[in-house]
Amino acid sequence: MATISQFNLSPSMIFSSTPKHSRFASKPVFLSLNSIKAARNPVEKLQLWSRESVRGRPVFRVRSVDDDEEPISEGASVVAVAEEGEKKPEKDAEIESLKKALVDSFYGTDRGLRATSETRAEVVELITQLEAKNPTPAPTEALTLLNGKWILAYTSFPGLFPLLSRSPMLVKVEEISQIIDSENFTVQNSVLLSGPLATSSISTNAKFEVRSPKRVQIKFEEGIIGTPQLTDSIVFPENVEFLGQKFDLSPFKGLLTSVQDTASSVAKTISSQPPFKFSFSNRNAESWLLTTYLDEDLRISRGDAGSVFVLIKEGSSLLTP
């Protein structure tokens, strides 16, 4: 058996360290020849050599550093330090692309009323993809995001379709919105109506309770029919569409103009009256809402019978055509 003296112990084998300018520099390893020679037998000498070599292995500390930063001090513990000042992208590009495609798919659907089966299928697919990437998994725990005014962009809720399709002649649904006050736990749903003479609104006030990280229970308390407000200028249309048919109003233009002053006077009188309020007394005036997607400018909620609501935050760029 070879003895330890038969090994060729060159200086490079006895002294081992990392390069001088290495960012992972560690304490050099010294193996004393005297300590090796003092070992009682070859096996002990080899064990000593192995133990000292392992003990001298460098300890790495992992962090992000600049090229000109000083080497890490010896004996440092193993840690991972993120680059200071490093920020994640504010918006996910894929999510933003899906949101844009979803809003584009609403074009010409009149908030879902006139959506074809093909368009509805496209909307469902885009909603499913967005829900899978929901950046707010617990919306009811992010009340600051829920807070504010939301504009209805699309719905599959059949309860709103009669309102959209059976509005009286010359009356148009301008906006359907929802205002959430997260501090007082209130919800106000509003429908803004406009006609050739005035604008008005129908709204409901409700309280909500948080039932789960995604679900709220809504209890309606009162309804309000707003006082009609006279428009600044009265413009009669050339034609009007009702029940799928267009009616030419040009033969009646002279008659409509002659009653314009009288109508304005009546509208001014009505505008001075307070809004009409009524209470919801029955127990069925409750509903629930499940928020499945939420960020700073888009909210997707699901309600009774699987109906879906897509709402956009007031002031969002998604509202810009």
Write out pLDDT tens, residues 15-48: 334 444 444 344 444 445 455 455 555 555 555 4
Report yes or no on 290 lying in a domain.
yes
Is 122 inside a domain boundary? yes
Among 125-134, 193-202, 231-240, 270-279, name the one with the lowest average pLDDT.
231-240
Q: What is the CATH number of the domain that holds 151?
A: 2.40.128.280
pLDDT at 86: 46
3-state secondary structure of 281: coil
88 assigned to some structural domain: no
Tell me: do 27 and 52 sit in the same domain. Answer: yes
Contact, 291 vs 214, CB < 8 A? yes
Query: What's the rounded mean pLDDT across residues 200-210?
Result: 93
Task: Read off the pLDDT of each residue in 5-16 and give the average, rounded to a whole number.
Answer: 41
Q: What is the model's pLDDT at position 300?
A: 98
pLDDT at 213 over 80: yes
pLDDT band at 126 (very low <50, low <70, confident <90, very high): very high
Mean pLDDT (whole number) for 4-9: 43
Query: Is 99 found in the same domain as 162?
Result: yes
Rg (CA), the chain: 37
User: Within a domain: residue 87?
Assistant: no
pLDDT digits over 149-171, tens only? 999 999 998 888 777 665 555 67
Instruction: Look at residue 86 and tell me if it is in a domain.
Output: no
| Strand, coil or helix: 142 | coil
Q: Report the largest interatomic distance among the alpha carbons of the chain, rounded to a whole angstrom.
A: 125
Q: Is the torsion defined by CA of 139, 140, 143, 148 positive or negative?
A: positive
Question: Which amino acid belongs to residue 137?
Answer: P
What letter does residue 15 receive in the DSSP assignment? Answer: E
In a domain, 175, yes or no: yes
Residue 269 has which token pair?
């009188």
Same domain flag for 152 and 12: no
Structure tokens given for 184? 């007082």
Tell me the average pLDDT of the chain: 74
What pLDDT does 198 receive?
Answer: 75
Residues 141 and 274 in one domain: yes
Residue 81 has pLDDT above 60, yes or no: no
Residue that finishes a domain, picked among 18, 46, 81: 81
**Better pLDDT: 38 or 226:** 226
Q: What are phi and psi of 39, to 5 degrees?
A: -65, 145
- Say yes or no to pLDDT of 2 above 50: no
Tokens of 128: 């499913």
Cα–chain center distance at 316: 12
Q: What are the backbone angles phi and psi of residue 96, rounded to the nearest 5°?
A: -60, -35
- Quick one: pLDDT at residue 61? 45
Say if residue 39 is in the same domain as residue 127.
no
For residue 295, name the pLDDT band (cuts at 50, 70, 90). very high
Residue ranges making up the domain that contains 15: 6-81
Q: Using an 8 Å Cβ cutoff, are 29 and 56 in contact?
A: yes
Number of domain units in the chain: 2
Q: Are residues 18 and 151 in the same domain?
A: no
- 17: Cβ–Cβ under 8 A, 6 or more apart, which residues? 25, 26, 27, 28, 29
Ramachandran angles phi, psi of 206, nearest 5°: -145, 160
When pLDDT is cut at 50, 70 and 90, the band that residue 214 belongs to is very high
Which of 31, 50, 81 marks a domain boundary?
81
Whether 202 and 262 map to the same domain: the answer is yes
Q: What is the pLDDT of residue 200?
A: 86
Q: Are residues 56 and 20 in the same domain?
A: yes
Distance, CA of 126 to CA of 304 (rounded, Å): 20
More confident residue, 170 or 205: 205
**Res 208: pLDDT:** 95
Residue 293 confidence (pLDDT):
98
* Mean pLDDT on 129-136: 97
The residue among 30, 50, 81 that closes a domain is 81
In a domain, residue 224? The reply is yes
Answer yes or no: do 175 and 309 share one domain: yes
The average pLDDT across 120-137 equals 97
Cα–Cα distance, 55 to 174 (Å, whole number): 77
Same domain, 254 and 153: yes
pLDDT higher for 219 or 91? 219
Instruction: Show the tokens assigned to 197.
Output: 């003479």
pLDDT, residue 186, reads: 96
CA angle 240, 169, 192 (to 5 degrees): 110
Q: Tell me whether residue 1 is in a domain.
A: no
Question: Residue-wise over 15-24: b if at least 16 C-beta within 10 A, else e?
Answer: eeeeeeeebe
Query: Do 149 and 245 share a domain, yes or no?
Result: yes
If asked whether residues 51 and 163 sit together in one domain, one would say no
Distance, CA of 49 to CA of 40 (rounded, Å) = 13
Note whether 106 and 126 are within 8 A (CB). no
d(Cα 136, Cα 213) in Å, to the nearest integer? 10
Residue 190 dihedral angles phi and psi, to the nearest 5°: -135, 145
